[in-house]
Amino acid sequence: MNKIKLVMTVNKKNVETEIEPYARLLDVLRDKFGFTGVKEGCGIGECGACTIIMNGKKVNSCMVLAAQAQGADILTIEGVENSDGSMHPVQEAFLEKGAVQCGFCTPGMVISSYHLLNENQDPTDQEIKEAISGNLCRCTGYKQIINAVHMAADNMKK
Amino acid sequence: MPLMGTKNYRHLNKRLNRVDSADKITGRALYAADVKVPGMIFGGSLRCKYAYAIIVEIDTSKAKAIPGVYAVLTAKDVPKTQSWADYPYLSDGTVRFVGETVAIVAAETTDLVEDALKAIEVEYEELDGVYTIEGALEKNAVQIREKGVGLKDGLPDKDKKGNIFYDSYYPIRKGDIEKGFSEADFILEREYKTPFVEHSYIEREACVVMKDPDAGIVTAYASAQNPFFTRRYLADAIQAPFNKCRVVQKMLGGSFGGKEELVGLMVGRAALLVMATDRPVKMVATREESFMESAKRHPFNFKYKAGLTKDGKIIAWEGTQIANAGAYNNQTQYLNCRAAIHSAGVYNIPNIKTDTYGVFTNNIHSGAMRGYSSPQIIFAQEQFLNEIAKEMGIDEIDLRRKNILKQGDLTATSQKLTAETITLEMIDHMVNTTEYYRKKEEYSNTHKSKEKRKGIALVSCYRGSGYGAETPDAGGSLVTAIEDGTILINTGLAENGQGLKTAYTQIAAEGIGCTTDIINFVGVDTHSIPDSGMTVASRGTVMGAQSMRKASIDLGTLLRETAAMLLKTDPDKVDIDNNEFYIIGSDGKNKVSLADVCNTRLWTGKAMAVYNWSEPGDLGIDHHTGQGDAFPTYSYGVVVAEVEVDMETGFVDVLKVSSGHDVGTCVNPDTVEGQIYGGIAMGQGFGVTEEVPVNKGQLESKNFDSYIFPTSIDVPEMEAVIFECDDSAGTYGAKSLGEPATEAVGAAIAAAVANATGVPVRELPCNLERTLLGKSLSKGGMIK
C-alpha cells in the first residue's frame, strides 16, 4: 500500500509525516510524534483514555484514521498547559481536588473537562457527569474529578 | 464519636496533594507502553482458542520465513515452559485454558507480529474438560492437573485423585460445633455464588525488556504491581541469576491485584525473545489478551449454616467456601488462608467449623483482586445474616449489634481483640447519619409498587490488616539525606496508583520533621533496594511503612545530633521547623538550616542514610484447626446502600452509598476519601453489573463494550465516613483501607436490592433477571 503524506497541526505546531493508510491517529500521535500522554486503554472507543480534541470536537483517537486528520487542528494533553508552561485551571483543579489516582485515564479526563468548560462555563453536576461519561476511571469513583471540574469552572470565571 | 481529626501530627491526618499528580495531569508521566529504546522490536503471543486440548503439531516455518520476523519460539526452544509460579510461559503440549500461549514471536513492527502469529499453524486435539466448581467436584470428573486431589467424607484428601488444589485447603475448628447446633433454637442453611470479575485497570499490561550490560544481563521496564515478584519471572524464564536481572517499575496505570502473573509471564516471554534476537523487545497486551490471561477475582460457591438462640445470639456457624482457581494457580493457597480466617464474618461466635478450598478448572486462573476473597465472602455472609433476621423476625441491625466483635472478644481463629474496637459506635453512627430507620420505613411504602421500589441495607465487616498469617509482613526502607538538604526515600514497595508515594512522603516527613516538598520517592528499581515483599494485602501503609517510619525517625535523630553540634547544645534541646533546626525556647535566634546540617555531615564523614528493616510480631495459625493470632490488627467497615429497583426491567439504580471505615490513623484524608469513593464504584460494579461470563472456558466478555463497570453517570451519591481509633499495631496507628474500601459495597447493594424486592439475592451480580426472580434465566442450564 502506498504511504500517505499527512500534514496537521498538533498543539499549535505544524507537523508532517508519512503514514500507512490504515494507521490510527492514536498511533501516529504516540509513535511518530511522541505524544505519549495520549493513552490507549481499550482500542475500541469505549474507555476514552485516548481522547483528544480534533477541529474543536472531542474524539477517541483510537477510532480515527490518521488520514482523516489531514489538515486538522489537534489538541492533546501536552498542549493543554498555558503558554508559559504553568498548568491550565482544569489541571490545577485536578491537582488540588485529589482527582488523580493511577493517572492513566487522567489525560482523557482533563481533555474532556477542558472541552466542556470551553463550551459551558457554568456546568451542573449532571452536565459534568455527561461530559466525562465517555472516560472510564477505575480508581476514583469520579467524585473528586467532578469536584475538580466545578473548581476549575469557578476559577476560570475569576 | 471517634471520627477523624483528633490526632496530633505534623504531617499525618492532613491533606496533601499527591506527589505524582502533576506529571499525570500534564501527560508527562511515562507508563510502560510509553517506553521506547533504540533498536526496539515488538513481541506477541499466539493464544490457544480451546479450553483443554493436546497440541498435536506446531508448524512455525511460514512465520519464520516472513522478512522482518526475527524469532518464533515454542516450548522446544526455551529453557523451561512452566514458570516458578505454576503458570506457563509457553504450553508444555497440553493447553488448559483459552488463551494459553503456545508460541511467541518477535518482529520489526507490530504489523509483522500479527502476520507472523497468523502464519503459525497449530493442530490440536480437543479434550473434555471441567469448567465449573460443581463440575470439578463431580465423582467421575476428568482430573485436569496431576496435583489435584479428591474428597473423602466431604473433605479434601491427599490420597484421593481429583481437581482440588490441596495447598489451598484451610479448615477452621473453634469450640464444639455439634454442641453449638444442639443448643440452638433456630437453624438456617443457605447457598450463595459469585462470578469471575475483571480488574479493568485502564492501563493494559506492557513491558520493554532489553539486554543491559550495566545491569548485568537484562533490564525490564514493566507495568509491574510488584517489581521483585516480576524479577522472579524474568530470571526464571531465561535461567539467569537474580542479581543480573533488573526490573524497573514504570508509572502504573492501576492494578488492584491484577498486574502480577500476566506481567511476570509477559516479561519472561519478552526476555526469551530478547535472548533469541539480541534486540530490545516491547510487548503490550491488547485489552482482549488482558482479559484472557490476567487473573480474575475468584468465583466462590458458599454454603453456610448458622444456629442461634431465640434471642438472636449466633452460637454455631458451619460453612463450606469453594473457590474456582482456574487451570494454573499460585494464589488460592494464600487467598484461602484469608478467606478461612474471615469465614464466620465479623461476629463473635463460640462454635465454628468451616472448610475453604479451591478447585482446578479449565478456565483463566483466579488471583488477587482488591479484597482477596473478602468481597465474595462478605456478600454471602451479609445476605445470610439478613435472611436469618427475616426468618427469625428480628431486626437486622439488632442481630449485628448482638453478635459483632468487640474489644476483648475472640475471633474465629480465637485471636483476642486487644486493641480499641469501635464496631458498635460505627454501627450507631452510620444508622443515625444515614437515617436508616426513617428511610427503611419510607422505602417500605414502595414495596408493593409494580414499577419502582426502593430499598436500604447496612452491612458490617472486618479485615485483617496486611499479610498477617499468610506470610511474614516484613519490609525495608532507605532514607537518604543529601548535601543540599533534600531527602530521597526508597523502598521495595510500589506506587500502584493508590497513593503510596504520597503516604510514604508524609510518613518520612513526620519522622524527620522536615517538610514534604523536599522529599523525593525513588521509583522501584530492583537493583536499588532489597525486596520488601509485595505491594498487596492493603499492607503498604499499615505494615510496609513501619520501616519508613523507623528509618526516617532514625535519620532525624542523626540530623538533630549534627544540628546540636553546630548550635553548641544538646540534641534534646533542638527541634526542627520549616527545615531549620533551632534551640527550643530561643525565640528562633539560634538556627541552622537542614541544608547546612546535611552539608556538614557529608564533609565530616557522617552517615547520610538509614536503612531500616522491620519485622512483624509473632503471628500464625495452626493449619489443622485454623486457630491462632492471625493479624496484627483489623480494619472495620460499616456500609449503608440505598437503591431503587425498576420492577418491570430489573434495572438497579444505586442511589446512595455511605461508607464508614475505621482506618486507625488517617494519613491523608484526600487519598483516603479517594480510596473510599473508588471502592464504592468498584463495589457497585461487583454488586450490579460485573461478571466475566464463561461458557466452557470461553470468555464471553473481552473488552469494555460488553464488560460493564460504572461510568460517571452510573455512580451513586457517595458519603465517606472516616473513623479513627487508638491502636498501636500499624504505622503511626494506621490500618488498611485499600481493600476495605470496596469489600462490603457489593454486599450492601445486594442486600438493599433484596430489601426493595423482597427476593433474597443469592448470586452476583444483581442483573435484571436475578434481581426480579432471584435467578438467572440465561444461566438456567448449568454447564458441567
- A111, A52 contact by CB (below 8 A): yes
Radius of gyration of chain A (CA): 16
Instruction: Check B709 against A138: CB less than 8 A apart.
Output: yes
Question: SS in 3 state form for B95-152?
Answer: ECCCCCEEEEEEECCHHHHHHHHHHCEEEEEECCCCCCHHHHHCCCCCCCCCCEEEEE
Backbone angles phi, psi at B489, to 5 degrees: -120, 140
The one-letter amino acid code at B27 reads: G
CB contact residues (below 8 A), chain A span 67-106, against chain B: 76-78, 80-81, 87, 91, 94-96, 98, 100-106
Choose the closest CB to A103 out of B29, B200, B703. Answer: B29
Of B783 and A156, more confident: A156
Residue A112 contacts B, CB cutoff 8 Å = no
Choose the closest CB to A144 out of B29, B200, B674. Answer: B674
State how many domains chain A has. 2
Give the pLDDT band (50/70/90) at residue B552: very high
Using a CB-CB cut-off of 8 Å, the residues of chain B touching A63 are none
Which pLDDT value is given to residue B776?
67
Q: Which fold has domain B375-466+622-773?
A: Aldehyde Oxidoreductase; domain 4 (3.30.365)
CATH 3.30.365.10 domain residues, chain B: 375-466+622-773, 474-614
Which pLDDT value is given to residue B59?
98
Residue A110 contacts B, CB cutoff 8 Å = yes
- B323, B336 contact by CB (below 8 A): yes
Grid cell 439504580 in the structure block, residue: B653
Residue A23 domain flag = yes
Choose the closest CB to B25 out of A42, A100, A135. Answer: A100
Nearest to B606 by CA among B566, B640, B568: B566
Choose the closest CB to B499 out of A39, A95, A101. Answer: A101
Substitution target in A138, A147, A149 with the highest count of B β-carbons within 10 Å is A138
The verdict on A100 and A141 lying in the same domain is yes
Instruction: Check A139 against B497: CB less than 8 A apart.
Output: yes
Residue of A nearest to B677 (CA): A141
Residue of A nearest to B500 (CA): A101
The verdict on A23 and A72 lying in the same domain is yes
Residue A84 domain flag = no
Q: Output the domain CATH number for residue A148.
A: 1.10.150.120
CATH number for the domain whose boundaries are B474-614 = 3.30.365.10
Q: pLDDT digit string (tens) for A6-63? A: 999 999 999 999 999 999 999 999 999 999 999 999 999 999 999 999 999 999 999 9
The verdict on A94 and A74 lying in the same domain is no
Grid cell 487519598 in the structure block, residue: B671
- Give the other-Cβ count within 10 Å of B31's Cβ: 21
Q: Exposed, middle or buried by CB within 10 Å (0-12, 13-18, 19+), for A67? A: middle
* Pairing label, strands B487-491, B519-521: parallel
Chain-centroid distance of CA B470 in Å reads 14
Boundary-marking domain end, from A79, A112, A128? A79
Instruction: Check A41 against B705: CB less than 8 A apart.
Output: no
Residue of B nearest to A49 (CA): B202
Q: Output the domain CATH number for residue A62.
A: 3.10.20.30
* Pairing label, strands B634-646, B652-662: antiparallel
The one-letter amino acid code at B76 reads: K
Choose the closest CB to B25 out of A36, A94, A134. Answer: A94
- B253, A136 contact by CB (below 8 A): no
What is the extent of the structural domain holding A135?
89-157
Give yes or no for residue B139 having a pLDDT over 70.
yes
Q: What is the mean pLDDT of residues B603-624?
A: 95
Q: What is the mean pLDDT of residues B146-155?
A: 96
The verdict on A63 and A26 lying in the same domain is yes
Contacts of B182 (CB under 8 A, 6+ apart): none
Q: Exposed, middle or buried by CB within 10 Å (0-12, 13-18, 19+), for B7? A: middle
Residue of B nearest to A101 (CA): B497
- B46, B102 contact by CB (below 8 A): yes
> How far apart are alpha carbons B298 and B317 in whole angstroms?
23
Boundary-marking domain end, from A51, A79, A107? A79
Q: pLDDT digit string (tens) for B207-227? A: 999 999 999 999 999 999 999
Q: What is the mean pLDDT of residues A68-83?
A: 97
The one-letter amino acid code at B758 reads: G
Nearest to B640 by CA among B433, B464, B385: B433
The CA distance from A12 to the nearest CA of chain B, in Å, is 16
Using a CB-CB cut-off of 8 Å, the residues of chain A touching B18 are 95, 98, 100-101
Sign of CA dihedral B428, B431, B435, B441: negative
Determine the 3-state secondary structure of B469 from DSSP. Answer: helix
Choose the closest CB to A104 out of B31, B676, B710. Answer: B31
The verdict on A8 and A70 lying in the same domain is yes
The verdict on A153 and A109 lying in the same domain is yes
Give yes or no for residue B783 having a pLDDT over 60.
no
> How far apart are alpha carbons B448 and B451 in whole angstroms?
9
Q: pLDDT digit string (tens) for B264-309? A: 999 999 999 999 999 999 999 999 999 999 999 999 999 999 999 9
**In terms of CATH, what superfamily is B32-127+200-293?**
Aldehyde oxidase/xanthine dehydrogenase, a/b hammerhead (3.90.1170.50)
Contacts of B588 (CB under 8 A, 6+ apart): B582
Using a CB-CB cut-off of 8 Å, the residues of chain A touching B201 are 102, 104, 138
Partners of B358 in the β-ladder: B165, B323
Q: pLDDT digit string (tens) for A103-123? A: 999 999 999 999 999 999 999
Written as one string, the DSSP assignment of B655-713 is EEEEEEEE-SS-S-HHHHHHHHHHHHHHHHIIIII----EETTEES--STTTS----TT
Residue of B nearest to A93 (CA): B25
Instruction: Check B679 against A141: CB less than 8 A apart.
Output: yes
Instruction: Check B673 against A98: CB less than 8 A apart.
Output: yes
Question: In the numeric block, which cell numbers belong to residue B621?
Answer: 495459625
Residue of A nearest to B704 (CA): A46
Residue A133 domain flag = yes
* Alpha helices for chain A (secondary structure H): 25-27, 89-96, 106-119, 125-131, 143-157
Give yes or no for residue B600 having a pLDDT over 50.
yes
The CA distance from B415 to the nearest CA of chain A, in Å, is 33
The verdict on A99 and A143 lying in the same domain is yes
Determine the 3-state secondary structure of B155 from DSSP. Answer: strand
**C-alpha dist (Å) from residue B534 to B228, B231, B268, B359, B524:** 8, 12, 18, 25, 12
Give the pLDDT band (50/70/90) at residue B777: low
**C-alpha dist (Å) from residue B292 to B122, B245, B381, B406:** 19, 27, 30, 43
> How far apart are alpha carbons B659 and B747 in whole angstroms?
12
* Pairing label, strands B314-326, B351-360: parallel
Which pLDDT value is given to residue B358?
98
Residue A111 contacts B, CB cutoff 8 Å = no
Which pLDDT value is given to residue B70?
98
Give the pLDDT band (50/70/90) at residue B778: low
The verdict on A58 and A108 lying in the same domain is no
Give yes or no for residue B28 having a pLDDT over 90.
yes
The verdict on A119 and A73 lying in the same domain is no
> How far apart are alpha carbons B284 and B44 in whole angstroms?
8
Instruction: Check A138 against B200: CB less than 8 A apart.
Output: yes
Give the pLDDT band (50/70/90) at residue B782: very low
- Burial letters B696-719, b for 16+ CB under 10 A, else e: bbbbebbbbeebbbbbbebbbebb
The total number of residues shown for chain B amounts to 784
Q: What is the mean pLDDT of residues B572-597?
A: 94
Substitution target in A80, A139, A140, A145 with the highest count of B β-carbons within 10 Å is A139
Average pLDDT, chain B: 96
Contacts 24+ apart (CB under 8 A), B63-67: B63/B103, B63/B105, B63/B115, B63/B116, B63/B117, B63/B119, B63/B120, B66/B107, B66/B112, B66/B115, B66/B116, B66/B119
Using a CB-CB cut-off of 8 Å, the residues of chain A touching B200 are 136, 138
Instruction: Check A98 against B671: CB less than 8 A apart.
Output: yes
Boundary-marking domain end, from A32, A51, A79? A79
Using a CB-CB cut-off of 8 Å, the residues of chain A touching B715 are 141-143
